Structure 1
């Protein structure tokens, strides 16, 4: 193994970790706000990827421009989903029933995508899709750098929103303790709706980033939901920065393990980390102090 090849694996692992962090951010918000396990999150990712592909193929514009429509559309859909369906579930069985409800939504989205676009695999053909940048003998694809840049911008914006705005303070208070948040005058139902919309808006950005360098098909979301769930458990349920740290570490581990094991077996690192977390630290390895700070 050459040093350049090892460097390339490390860089690609970190870029992949950044994308994982973005894709998992919404899942963390859902659980933190309402204790909802959102199985349909990855299906919305693939829906956003298809919309980006359709925008480029049918309208002839860069797929990144699709976010002008998909981000507000997904935000509104998240609010509607929370207020119209999830808020009607009984609190005592909310987590369990949310799994069944969002599973049904995921299957519905998959079926609609299969009906509209068939099961044929699709891939966006970009003029800069094959471009790469050299760095110490390693070659890094431009589309991977763009996807990582989208993750940095989106997560940075989410951090500023939650740390520097009144809505962010209300959202953090709702995540930490809903009853206490109500006692100080926060409308937790409204905040939950906005927070759910925010989580689904991150899916619009993440799905667009995913479409830049991934072949998509309607059932692809089942490939993503397992690793994303593992990330939020390892990072600490409800902790956005914990999920980001876990995503970077696991993404780097996957990038390095692809060298000896190949892409398929390298992904088992997520499930091994999940088992280790549940066995030794069920609250997550990064969810304690970091969760309190965020």
Structure 2
């Protein structure tokens, strides 16, 4: 018999985990919305950022979140250059398939370099608050998950404001909605797409730092994240950032609740079940229609 306290705690932990999933999936949604690119290297960049945070904390004894001062602008620049130098050269007719192959190769390169630099040994940041928790109505909530969720919330709110309230955001949304029409009104869609990719990769930098607070990392960990993140953006609706956020919260809650009866390994299958169900019932995603028009 599951107690009410355990159920309540699992619900809260699911929401916190869903917030992290939403942050990690936001970049994938941007890539696909801008150029229909399936960015398999996104999760590899997340793990790369986590390694940077771990190395920064190890060398300086400072909080790993401070590493974002360097990684966010660096990842933004890498994303811009990747789009302008590599992805923009792909033919539109084969963009999606070729982007899978290209970004798959980039993911392998990142994994190989991490393995060469740090070996395959698992790493974890030793934080002074790593084992701390906060009691809320009888539930024990880990501090690291609260910090990760807060970071995700701030990042997604910032992304929303950029897309909705800035001139660049309007240009990016126009590029996503209709590239040719955006060009007709004078928008430099190539440059805008480059900045959009940079923005997507900047979210990977933030997500990696947040992940490093609560996860043990190793070079091949990015393969573990590809499936869940792809499932989130498909269920939420390809190209819909709010749809991906809603799907991430729902699947995060379901995953944690399923850990009670079946354990963490089998609970992970909820992402793949949701993916298959979406492709069979509503291939365009459950939240990608009306909500996608807002972004």
What SS does structure 2 have at the residue aligned with 1:262?
Answer: helix
Kindly report which structure 2 residues correspond to 1:30-179, keeping only aligned pairs within 5 A, or say none.
Answer: 30-179=31-180
In the alignment, does 2:256 pair up with 1:237? no
In the alignment, does 2:266 pair up with 1:285? no
User: What is the deviation of 1:70?
Assistant: 0.2
* Structure 1 residues 204-241: Cα deviation after superposition (integer angstroms, max 9, x where no partner): 00000000000000000000010000000000000000
* Structure 1 residues 259-283: Cα deviation after superposition (integer angstroms, max 9, x where no partner): 0011111011111110111001110
* Structure 1 residues 75-108: Cα deviation after superposition (integer angstroms, max 9, x where no partner): 0000010011000111111100000000000000
Q: 1:251 aligns to what?
A: 252
User: What is the deviation of 1:51?
Assistant: 0.1
Q: Which runs of 5+ in 1 are unaligned?
A: none
What SS does structure 2 have at the residue aligned with 1:44?
Answer: helix
Q: 2:195 aligns to what?
A: 194
Q: 1:19 aligns to what?
A: 20
Instruction: Determine the C-alpha separation between the residues in 2 that align with 1:47 and 1:138.
Output: 33
User: What is the deviation of 1:21?
Assistant: 0.2
User: What is the deviation of 1:127?
Assistant: 0.3
User: What is the deviation of 1:137?
Assistant: 1.3
* Structure 1 residues 141-170: Cα deviation after superposition (integer angstroms, max 9, x where no partner): 000000000000000000000110111011
Q: CA RMSD in A?
A: 0.5
* Structure 1 residues 167-226: Cα deviation after superposition (integer angstroms, max 9, x where no partner): 101101111110111111111001000000000000000000000000000000000010
What SS does structure 2 have at the residue aligned with 1:201?
Answer: helix
Q: 2:184 aligns to what?
A: 183
Instruction: Determine the C-alpha separation between the residues in 2 that align with 1:72 and 1:241.
Output: 24
Instruction: Determine the C-alpha separation between the residues in 2 that align with 1:293 and 1:26.
Output: 17
What SS does structure 2 have at the residue aligned with 1:238?
Answer: coil
Instruction: Determine the C-alpha separation between the residues in 1 that align with 2:158 and 2:247.
Output: 19
Q: Which runs of 5+ in 2 are unaligned?
A: none
User: What is the deviation of 1:59?
Assistant: 1.8
Instruction: Determine the C-alpha separation between the residues in 2 that align with 1:248 and 1:137.
Output: 22
Instruction: Determine the C-alpha separation between the residues in 1 that align with 2:60 and 2:147.
Output: 21
User: What is the deviation of 1:11?
Assistant: 0.4
Where in structure 1 do 4 or more consecutive aligned residues deviate above 4 Å? Answer: none
Instruction: Determine the C-alpha separation between the residues in 1 that align with 2:65 and 2:241.
Output: 24
Kindly report which structure 2 residues correspond to 1:255-270, keeping only aligned pairs within 5 A, or say none.
Answer: 255-270=256-271
Instruction: Determine the C-alpha separation between the residues in 2 that align with 1:268 and 1:291.
Output: 27
TM-score (norm 1): 0.99
